[in-house]
């Protein structure tokens, strides 16, 4: 039988999953949602959702080593009375936390190569670059910098990507509606309009709700971005034309792009901040220039 434990205090407002910072936090918010819904029994939730009571009970077990499956989350929050529009917030938070889990696992398994990266004298100090990214974000939030787009370039694809990913992992508290990631080098056609479907899924849009036409997908993505606060990392970009549909329009959204190409036209059009990471002993952080000689 479900028992209220520490951290499960009843609140008259519906729990907001975007406040969860870890998988354990997310499960606490699921438990709070159950209380908010009137604390129905797992048998009753099974009747509403079609998911076995034991599976639902396991999903709320804070001793689990990883997050419950996404289909269980969708069924559970729906059974607790959460409408389709708000279900997207639960799905988006789950995706962000699951990506964090995956990144942590990948980081641990790749520790030898990561050590080699840090010791490579051709790669600049990553902490310096991350400090610059922090400063750009503070300036944007304070209204002193209009552009929410940062372009990280360099001779080393690995250096630019590693810097962006490292900074992204630290921003769970800054972007309550999630951190989106798209690898444009693989992702089976992840560039351009094809990549919009992947981003929309990460934002919690159900598969059958993703528009068929590219223009409709782009419109939905722009509409969502205007109402939410999220970070999107577009990794390993090569073509500015493929990037444009993937850029959110919301003033509270923040875009990171990594590339070995300078992408001068895109950077200039969006008044982007450009960081150059790679060979050398310093990080350059300036407004992007259309003059290739300034690179």
pLDDT at position 192 is 63
Q: 92 and 133, same structural domain?
A: no
Using pLDDT thresholds of 50, 70 and 90, give the confidence band for residue 286: very low
| pLDDT 10s digits, 136-195 | 888 877 776 666 788 888 776 788 888 888 888 888 778 877 889 888 876 544 556 678
14 conformational bin, left if phi > 0, alpha if psi -120 to 50, beta if neither? beta
Indicate whether 8 belongs to any domain. Answer: no
Cβ 267 vs Cβ 240: under 8 Å = no
Task: Tell me: do 192 and 126 sit in the same domain.
Answer: yes
User: Could you tell me if 138 and 91 lie in one domain?
Assistant: no
Backbone angles phi, psi at 255, to 5 degrees: -120, 130
d(CA 288, CA 295): 9
The verdict on residue 259 lying in a domain is yes
Rg for the chain, CA atoms, rounded:
21
Q: How far apart are CA 91 and CA 266, in angstroms?
A: 31
Residue 127: how many other CB atoms lie within 10 Å: 11
Within-domain flag for 112: no
pLDDT of residue 120: 37
Determine the pLDDT at residue 49.
92
Are both 275 and 179 inside the same structural domain?
A: yes
Q: Select from 65, 100, 135 the last residue of a domain.
A: 100
pLDDT at 64 over 80: no
The 8-class DSSP code of residue 204 comes to: T
Least confident of 84-88, 115-119, 127-131, 205-209: 115-119
Q: Are 275 and 151 in contact (CB under 8 A)?
A: yes
pLDDT at site 65: 63
Per-residue confidence at 234, pLDDT binned at 50, 70, 90? very high
Q: For residues 253 and 225, is the Cβ–Cβ distance under 8 A?
A: yes
* Residues, the chain: 295
Q: Which domain does 50 fall in, by range?
A: 17-100
Which residue carries 């419950």 as its tokens? 68
- Is residue 162 located within the same domain as residue 209? yes
Global pTM value: 0.56
Number of structural domains, the chain? Answer: 2
Does residue 94 sit in the same domain as residue 46?
A: yes
Mark whether 89 and 225 lie in a shared domain. no
164 and 280 inside one domain: yes
Is it the case that residue 39 has pLDDT exceeding 70?
yes
C-alpha separations of 10 from 13, 78, 101, 103 in Å:
9, 19, 28, 33
Q: What is the pLDDT of residue 3?
A: 38
Q: Are residues 283 and 154 in the same domain?
A: yes
Please check whether residues 155 and 274 belong to one and the same domain: yes
User: Which residues is 153 bridged to in the sheet?
Assistant: 259, 276
Q: What's the pLDDT score for residue 146?
A: 65
Look at 208 and 53; give whichever has higher pLDDT: 53
pLDDT of residue 145: 63
Residues 279 and 154 in one domain: yes
Question: Mean pLDDT, the chain, as a whole number?
Answer: 76
Q: Is 65 in the same domain as 144?
A: no
Report DSSP state, residue 19.
G
Query: Residue 210 domain-assigned?
Result: yes
As beta bridge partners, residue 201 has none
- Return the pLDDT at 125: 59
Q: Which of 56-60, 81-85, 115-119, 155-159 has the lowest mean pLDDT?
A: 115-119
């Amino acid at each position: 039988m479900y028992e209220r434990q520490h951290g499960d205090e009843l609140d008259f407002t519906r729990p907001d999953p975007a406040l969860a910072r870890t998988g354990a936090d997310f499960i606490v918010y699921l438990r709070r949602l159950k209380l908010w819904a009137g604390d129905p029994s797992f048998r009753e939730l099974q009747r509403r959702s079609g998911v076995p009571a034991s599976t639902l009970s396991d999903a709320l077990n804070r001793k689990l080593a990883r997050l419950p499956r996404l289909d269980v989350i969708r069924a559970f929050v729906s059974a607790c009375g959460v409408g389709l529009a708000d279900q997207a917030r639960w799905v988006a938070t789950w995706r962000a936390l699951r990506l964090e889990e995956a990144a942590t696992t990948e980081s641990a398994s790749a520790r030898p190569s990561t050590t080699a990266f840090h010791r490579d004298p051709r790669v600049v100090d990553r902490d310096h670059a991350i400090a610059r990214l922090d400063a750009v974000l503070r300036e944007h939030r304070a209204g002193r910098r209009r552009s929410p787009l940062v372009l990280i370039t360099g001779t080393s694809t690995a250096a630019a990507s590693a810097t962006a990913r490292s900074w992204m992992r630290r921003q769970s508290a800054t972007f309550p509606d999630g951190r989106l990631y798209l690898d444009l080098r693989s992702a089976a056609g992840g560039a351009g309009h094809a990549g919009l479907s992947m981003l929309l899924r990460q934002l919690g849009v159900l598969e059958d709700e993703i528009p068929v036409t590219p223009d409709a997908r782009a419109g939905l993505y722009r509409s969502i971005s205007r109402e939410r606060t999220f970070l999107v990392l577009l990794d390993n970009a090569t073509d500015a034309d493929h990037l444009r549909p993937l850029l959110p329009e919301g003033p509270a959204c923040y875009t990171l792009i990594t590339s070995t190409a300078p992408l001068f036209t895109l950077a200039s059009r969006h008044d982007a901040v450009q960081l150059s990471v790679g060979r050398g002993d310093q990080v350059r952080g300036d407004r992007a220039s259309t003059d290739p000689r300034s690179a």
